[in-house]
Structures are given as C-alpha cells and as structure tokens.
Amino acid sequence: MSARLQAVVDQLDLRPHNHVLEIGCGHGVAATMVCERLDGGRLTGIDRSAKMIEAAVRRNTAAVAAGKAEFLVMSLEDLDLGDRRFDVIFAVRVGRFTASPNERVPSWSRGSGPAAGCGHSSTHPRGEG
C-alpha cells in the first residue's frame, strides 16, 4: 500500500463510529485503510470515473457487503449527498483534475457536522504546490 496514502489516513484521527467521505476515491486504496479502522462507522467514496468506482468496489468487496462502505460515481462539482453528514471529509490529489482546486474546498463543509475535520492532500502534476 502507498506510504503517502497511509500517512494521510494516519492524520485523519479516525474514530470507529465515524462517517467518512472520501472525495476522489480512485481505486479505493485509502478507503481500505479507512474501513480497517471503522467499527460501526461508514465510508462513502465518490469519484467521477465509473471505472475507478468499479475498482474501489472490487478492492473493498467485504466492506461493501458488510455495509461499512459505499462507492458512488459523482464528481466534486456535482457533490450532493442530501442531508447526510460526515465526521471526516478528505481528498488526495483531487486538485490535479480541476482548474482551481481551492475553489471547490469550501463546498466540502456543507456535508460536515460542527465538529468535523476536513483534509486535502494535493501535489501539482509537476511536483509544485
């Protein structure tokens, strides 16, 4: 597993009952790490790519079957999860696929409760920023 993703997940300060939103879940590698820490909590992973969502579901079949994880085809721009609230919201390298990554960050807070933590890890494609 990726040391970079492990470091990001370690910094999330997850609790077993947390409800977690991962924006841009890709293959579901970080989702696997998050689900290992949940007991009574739930992860929702979104990605704009149906192919990535299929890969995330395959990687996390047991967590999906247990109701611990769900994966949805949805872009950051179309983020709409209704009245659902999350204790932790995070994204890794999502900014690589938007013209202005910081422009989208404030919209994440709409899905968080008052004590929620939000995190974003991003590296510019050329290693800048």
Q: Where are the domains of the chain?
A: 3-102+112-121
Distance between start and end Cα atoms, the chain: 24
Query: Average pLDDT in the 25-45 region?
Result: 97
CA distance 23 to 45: 6
pLDDT over 80 (residue 100): no
CA distance 18 to 7: 18
Sign of the torsion angle spanned by Cα atoms 63, 33, 113, 71: negative
CA distance 57 to 45: 10
pLDDT in tens, 64-96: 999 999 999 998 888 888 888 999 999 887 765
Record the pTM: 0.78
pLDDT band at 36 (very low <50, low <70, confident <90, very high): very high
pLDDT in the model for residue 129 = 42
CATH H-level, domain 3-102+112-121: superfamily: Vaccinia Virus protein VP39 (3.40.50.150)
Which amino acid is present at 10? D
